[in-house]
Amino acid sequence: GNSVTQMEGPVTLSEEAFLTINCTYTATGYPSLFWYVQYPGEGLQLLLKATKADDKGSNKGFEATYRKETTSFHLEKGSVQVSDSAVYFCALNAGGTSYGKLTFGQGTILTVHP
């Protein structure tokens, strides 16, 4: 079946540090890939997406590139801020008959200290 594996957390960084959160996936066909962020007490917010191989999604300084050869979609940011502290989820939609179904990784807690 389809699955998403994220790097184990939590991740603790100082402000302005470089961030990488690893995400790999298993899926048949050509899935679409997403990163979502969840702040305390809130639902998930879409951070970025990529729908085909070599696509780069970007938003608010975050980037991720769809790498089909390594089945990866790692999230990066060059300089994190305290306000980036949240839980980050990598997800895929497998396409085909996977109507409206996102398969999520386990989430990575990010804490950024001043």
Among 12, 46, 68, 82, binds other proteins (CB under 8 A): 46
Among 25, 62, 66, 89, binds other proteins (CB under 8 A): 89
What letter would DSSP give residue 101? -
Give the 3-state secondary structure of residue 73: coil
Among 14, 20, 28, 45, binds other proteins (CB under 8 A): 45
Question: How many other CB atoms are there within 10 angstroms of residue 33's CB atom?
Answer: 26
Binding of residue 62 to other proteins (CB under 8 A): no
Instruction: Give the CA distances from residue 92 to residues 15, 38, 45, in Å, rounded to whole numbers and listed in that order.
Output: 29, 16, 15
Q: Which is nearer to other proteins, 21 or 44 (CB)?
A: 44
Q: How far is CA 4 from the centre of its chain?
A: 10
Calpha distance 40→53 (Å, rounded):
32
Binding of residue 106 to other proteins (CB under 8 A): yes
Footprint of other proteins (CB under 8 A): 31-32, 34, 36, 41-46, 49, 51, 89, 91, 93, 95, 97-107
